[in-house]
Amino acid sequence: MKQRDTLKKVLCYLKKYTALMMISVVFATVIVALTLYVPILIGDAIDLITDEGVNFTLIGSYLLRVGIVVLMTSILQWCMNVINNKVTFQVVRDIRKEAFDKLQVLPLKYLDAHSTGEIVSRIITDVDQFADGLLMGFTQLFTGVVTILGTLVIMLSLNPAITMVVVCITPLSLFVANFIAQKTYSMFKLQSETRGEQTALIDEMIGNEKVVKAYDHEDEAIARFDEINDRLQKCSLRAIFFSSLTNPSTRFVNSIVYAAVALTGALAVLSGRMSVGILSCFLSYSNQYTKPFNEVSGVITELQNAIACAGRIFELIEEQPQIPDGEEAKDLADVQGNIACQDVCFSYSEGQKLIENFTIDIKPGQNVAIVGPTGCGKTTVINLLMRFYDVDSGCIKVDGTDIRDMTRKSLRQSYGMVLQETWLKSGTIRENIKMGKPEATDEEMIRAAKASYSDSFIRRLPDGYDTVIGEDGGMLSQGQKQLLCITRIMLSLPPMLILDEATSSIDTRTEMKIQRAFHKMMEGRTSFIVAHRLSTIRNADIILVMKDGNIIEQGNHKQLLAQNGFYAKLYHS
């Protein structure tokens, strides 16, 4: 994303807070006016020191005024900072909310193609970096610009000739700052991208630490981290080094300005065209005039980093969402469970075919098993049934209606899904079980837990159903987590079921009991079972044997064994 486009989007977010920003500008103007008034008071006080004597009473009144002005300036500065903080973090809140909302509507293919750590880095780290740059911009940009304009007007009124010396030399600092800023933007962008890569690796390693240790992969993990960390160090050092040249360069130019003012002013004093107090005042103003150039140049450097980070988060926000439900999309109601796939073709990436001409007609209440070697497309069929992905061609119908003509919410609420990979959120056991049916009573929940044989281990937990578990189940065993997911489905009891290796982490004795509970639950419900252990699907009404994305055999267990084909070889092996 181009720098200019990113700036336009930032301004769009700021537009909501125009009133607060105008108040901040007013405060900045008053602060600058009061700050510029102080040198005048001090200059007048200096001029009261003459050969004829010192008027301490009048000097005291001037110093009192200086104290009052400084106090007022401090209070207004505090108020302005509060407003700037409020605007900055409201903008950050809006951006984070929009980014998180976009995550909920992004198609699964985006989430599958981007690592979790990289996405987290965009929403957390990049937004924090953007906030730092934006806050500095608010705090220093307003006051800096107003200070430059204010001091310029006053210096012109005091001595136009010396003022022209200042005006002619000072722009050099802006040219230097602008030149360096253009060079550093790409460096900060690379730094942000590398930081995201590092966060992704850390997230991956923490999430799979057991596998890392089991395969003695620690050295390789450290080597990968060190390589990314070294790249991050190099690009960060380059970005910071070049950006840090800005301040010394502008300070050098400003020192030349100060020396030129002092020299021309001293000559004016010697010739009698200017008093010592006015010279003191002028030196103070020239210093105040050049100081914002240092600050603005520093802000520009920080803004380069902020804009680079903002560009990455805006890329996420502007990703194409999943195709929304059509205006005429209907809610799926009174589900019978008749599912028909007609000439379905699908691939995750262009040119790499996976499922071709997939056709099947499933009657209501039938128990369908899908078997085949790894990578044949079993889980892909489930993704298509749930409309996590849309078919490339052909159609899938539920009760005679194309699933693209119904709302995703109603379609997915009609399925109960238990996967081999369990998912539990941080919260109580009760909250996790009732996720699919929040209005369920405790009696219904306990009945479902008993049916899934999870009630006994839940009651042994410290707080029973109110026990708080961490992300992804915390310290629960894999089998216990899977039992909770099964309980969740048994509580909601949707009209159609998908069981993808649902008992893979459960001991054989408990599995036999759960299989009996499943059979009871599946009565009258259209069910899909994905299994590698063929012994678990012998009672299925239809067994679909898949290979390379195609159904090569179908029938019940006895029919397929009698064919003595691919299924028979799988079963006997």
Find tokens 């880095």 and name the residue. 121
Let me know: does 342 contact 395? Beta carbons within 8 Å: yes
C-alpha to C-alpha distance for 25 and 41, rounded to whole angstroms: 25
Tokens of 41: 């008071």
Let me know: does 290 contact 167? Beta carbons within 8 Å: no
Give the pLDDT confidence score for residue 126 in this predicted structure: 83
> Half-sphere exposure of 481 toward its Cβ, with a 13 Å CA cutoff?
20
Q: What is the pTM of this model?
A: 0.65
298 CB neighbour count, 10 Å cutoff: 19
Collect all residues with Cβ–Cβ distance below 8 Å to 179 and sequence separation of at least 6. Answer: none
Give the pLDDT confidence score for residue 54 in this predicted structure: 64
CATH 3.40.50.300-classified regions of the chain: 339-572
DSSP structural state of residue 330: B
Report the b/e string of 252-288 with b at 16+ CB within 10 A.
Answer: ebbeebbebbeebbeebeeeeebeebbbbbbbbbbeb
Report the relative pairing of strands 415-418 and 496-500 from DSSP bridges: parallel
Let me know: does 448 contact 490? Beta carbons within 8 Å: yes
Find tokens 């301004």 and name the residue. 11
Give the pLDDT confidence score for residue 486 in this predicted structure: 83
* Superfamily for the 85-317 domain: ABC transporter type 1, transmembrane domain (1.20.1560.10)
Per-residue pLDDT of the chain in tens (573 residues, 90 and over written 9): 567 778 788 888 888 888 888 888 888 888 888 887 777 777 777 766 655 666 677 777 878 888 888 899 889 889 888 888 888 888 888 888 888 888 888 887 887 777 777 788 888 888 888 887 777 776 677 777 777 777 778 777 777 777 777 777 776 766 776 677 666 767 877 887 888 888 888 877 877 777 777 777 788 888 888 898 888 888 888 887 877 777 677 777 777 777 777 777 787 777 777 777 777 777 777 777 777 766 666 666 677 777 778 888 888 888 888 777 777 888 888 888 888 888 888 888 776 777 888 888 888 888 888 887 777 777 788 888 888 888 888 899 988 888 888 888 888 888 888 777 777 888 888 988 888 788 888 898 998 888 888 888 888 888 888 888 877 667 787 778 888 888 888 888 888 888 877 666 677 777 776 777 777 777 778 888 887 666 667 778 888 888 877 788 888 888 888 888 888 887 777
Determine phi and psi for 373, rounding to 5 degrees. Answer: -70, 165
- CA distances 520 to 147, 256, 418, Å, are 79, 89, 16
Let me know: does 169 contact 263? Beta carbons within 8 Å: no
Rounded to 10 degrees, the C-alpha dihedral 57/60/62/65 comes to -130
C-alpha to C-alpha distance for 482 and 463, rounded to whole angstroms: 20
Give the pLDDT confidence score for residue 50 in this predicted structure: 59
C-alpha to C-alpha distance for 81 and 140, rounded to whole angstroms: 10
CATH architecture for segment(s) 339-572: 3-Layer(aba) Sandwich (3.40)
Find tokens 């008027």 and name the residue. 55
Give the pLDDT confidence score for residue 198 in this predicted structure: 85
151 CB neighbour count, 10 Å cutoff: 26
